[in-house]
Chains A and B, each alone.
Chain A
Amino acid sequence: MGVGIQVEHLNAWYGTTHTLQDIDVHIPANHATALIGPSGCGKSTFVRCLNRMHETNPIARATGLVKMGDVDIYKDASPVEIRRRIGMVFQRPNPFPTMSIYDNVVSGLKLNGFRNRKVLDETCERSLKAAALWEEVKDDLKKKSGASLSGGQQQRLCIARALAVDPEVLLMDEPASALDPVSTSKIEDLIFQLKSQYTIVIVTHNMQQAARVAENTGFFLNGKMVEFDSTHKIFTNPRDKRTEDYITGRFG
């Protein structure tokens, strides 16, 4: 089951650029939360702070409190442990090109030294089914490279890979922006199903997508979270003038 995330006074920098300024938000468990805003507003930085990917960049740093359930992710755990519990799907599909479909799915387990064949087989099937890819690849699991799939399949493969380590939270950084409408719709259906079991945070440039999949939406602008509310409220009756301007396409 998913857990909620509590963020308080989160600040992040790239070098001297203050990318995130004093973010406070509560992301509820087992719901999908969408983050919208123009390019460069800090949405991606924000999700990367949630699983401590932000700090993999040598010039990046972050301060503030991020709690996943009762765990302070910057104090109580190592980044490696946090990233196992908070999975991530990136903007461009990034399967491991040298690995088979099977190895891609179970890579999170295998690369961490897990070797039990039976459990790996089961995990592979379960994850691919959860990512709605099983039927398309089940005959080529160990024959084909992950890179041989189509873009949409690759992204579902990446989702399966993230699910295989059994995370509680799934972060998705524009997961459909590089995909065609059919693949996008499959990914959205998937998010819809997955959110009953996982807490999902999805960054998107596509406002219809936010409206379709998420219960809550946050609007970022210039490193600040301008507004966070139920998706319905954000899109029909936003409190802030800037949110309304963005939603109606007046800028961004």
Chain B
Amino acid sequence: MGSDARRSGEGGITMSTKPVTPVPPMREPTNFNTKRMKLDQLRRSFVNNLVSGLAILSTVVVIAPLLMILGYLIYKGASSLNFAFFTQIPKPVGEDGGGMANSIVGSGVILSLASLMGIPVGIAAGVYLAEFGRGKMLANAVRFTADVLNGVPSIVMGIAIYSLIVMQQKHFSAFAGGVALAIMMVPTITRTTEEMLMTVPHAIREAALGLGVPKWRTAISVSLRTASPGIITGCMLAFARVAGETAPLLFTAFGNQFWSLSLTQPIAALPLQIYIYATGPYDEWHRLAWAGSLVLIMLIMVSVTLVRIFANRGVLKGGS
């Protein structure tokens, strides 16, 4: 059978042909040169400019406070930033100088611990909600719990972990602080993961299932991977939120004026140290509190940026 025979249809098959009737024009062509049309054009461009202007204004209103805070922190805190700030621990009361090295490292320890516990649990719960729990009672319960947990005040979280872990172990610890922050991260990550997985087209899952890929593997290697940029954003938001939390650490990590890297001992943290210095009576302490706040914000910005850069590596041309 030749290619032409195929093109014209096998075996002389005929399709129906219907007579074509001319369609009358629906209305007269528009004349764009009347006065009314010109006024209309003017009105439209005015509304267009008005809406764009409002959008730009809103953006400025949102960004301005952020820049003002950052600017004020730099103004108040930058002068107290020096080598000692990053290398020394707090000096005893009455002595000038000293730094927040132990707090910076302590915050790093607590936040790493919180991320190590909170991110896997949060993502796993989100995968369950989106991929396996559609319409199930348990999934609805988990979703409801996550939303309630998201609204729990951070001080309440601190007290809860105090009675659950600190009271049981009879001492404050970095571990307890990490757990408190991890639990605060979970609901945000879970719900973002679920939302992002829901935006993955069903056709992509079907493509994998149709290739004989088991469902669990499809969920992890296809759905989760496709949704990963949004999920990473969710994790970063959760991280940035808990990085500045003070209340849940008050009764858990407790703070420490000395070096400690032990997970079973009280540990220093930037927000705690800022809280102590800012509420203290000495001008030197106030200056250190400003510097600490600046460092805290910078650390959050740097870590979020690093994760972004890291996550964007290996993204292919034309991918989404």
Q: Which residues of A are at the interface with B, using a C-beta cutoff of 8 A?
A: 51, 53, 56, 58, 80-85, 87-88, 90, 92, 94-100, 107-108, 111-112, 140, 143-145, 147-149, 158, 161-162, 165, 188, 192, 207-208, 211-213, 231-232, 235-236, 248-250
Nearest residue in B to A53 (C-beta to C-beta)?
B210
Nearest residue in A to B226 (C-beta to C-beta)?
A98
B272 to chain A, nearest CB (A): 40
A211–B14 Cα distance when bound, in Å, is: 11
**Set B16, B212, B226, B320: member contacting A84, Cβ < 8 A:** B212
Q: B interface, how many residues as a size bin?
A: 35 or more
Q: Which of B10, B11, B213: most chain A CB closer than 10 A?
A: B10
A56–B211 Cα distance when bound, in Å, is: 13
Query: Contact between B211 and A147 (Cβ–Cβ < 8 Å)?
Result: no
Q: Which residues of B are at the interface with A, using a C-beta cutoff of 8 A?
A: 6-7, 9-13, 15-16, 18, 134-135, 201, 203-204, 206-214, 217-218, 221-222, 225-226, 228, 316-320
Q: Which of B211, B213, B217: most chain A CB closer than 10 A?
A: B211
Nearest residue in A to B209 (C-beta to C-beta)?
A56
A100–B315 Cα distance when bound, in Å, is: 9
A100–B9 Cα distance when bound, in Å, is: 38
Contacts of A236 in B (CB 8 A): 11-13
Contacts of A162 in B (CB 8 A): 210-211
Q: Which of A53, A58, A96, A144: most chain B CB closer than 10 A?
A: A96
Query: Contact between A148 and B211 (Cβ–Cβ < 8 Å)?
Result: no
**Set A56, A208, A212: member contacting B15, Cβ < 8 A:** A208
Contacts of B15 in A (CB 8 A): 207-208, 249
Nearest residue in B to A158 (C-beta to C-beta)?
B207
Query: Contact between A98 and B211 (Cβ–Cβ < 8 Å)?
Result: no
Query: Quick one: given A92-B203, A211-B10, A211-B13, are A144 and B210 in contact (CB under 8 Å)?
Result: no
A208–B6 Cα distance when bound, in Å, is: 9
A92–B102 Cα distance when bound, in Å, is: 57
Query: Contact between B213 and A112 (Cβ–Cβ < 8 Å)?
Result: yes
A192–B2 Cα distance when bound, in Å, is: 12
Contacts of B209 in A (CB 8 A): 53, 56, 83
A94–B135 Cα distance when bound, in Å, is: 26
Query: Contact between A87 and B6 (Cβ–Cβ < 8 Å)?
Result: no
**Set B12, B201, B208: member contacting A111, Cβ < 8 A:** B208
B197 to chain A, nearest CB (A): 13
Give me 17 other A-B pairs in contact (C-beta within 8 A), A94-B204, A98-B226 excluded.
A53-B206, A56-B206, A58-B134, A80-B212, A83-B212, A87-B211, A96-B208, A112-B217, A145-B317, A149-B318, A162-B211, A188-B6, A211-B10, A211-B11, A232-B11, A236-B11, A236-B13
A148–B11 Cα distance when bound, in Å, is: 40
Query: Contact between B206 and A144 (Cβ–Cβ < 8 Å)?
Result: no
**Set A80, A99, A213, A231: member contacting B214, Cβ < 8 A:** A80
B139 to chain A, nearest CB (A): 12
Query: Contact between B6 and A192 (Cβ–Cβ < 8 Å)?
Result: yes
Query: Contact between A97 and B204 (Cβ–Cβ < 8 Å)?
Result: yes
Query: Contact between A145 and B319 (Cβ–Cβ < 8 Å)?
Result: yes
A226 to chain B, nearest CB (A): 18
Nearest residue in A to B213 (C-beta to C-beta)?
A111
Contacts of A188 in B (CB 8 A): 6
Contacts of A108 in B (CB 8 A): 211-213
Nearest residue in A to B207 (C-beta to C-beta)?
A94
Nearest residue in A to B220 (C-beta to C-beta)?
A111
**Set B6, B18, B204, B318: member contacting A145, Cβ < 8 A:** B318
A151–B210 Cα distance when bound, in Å, is: 20
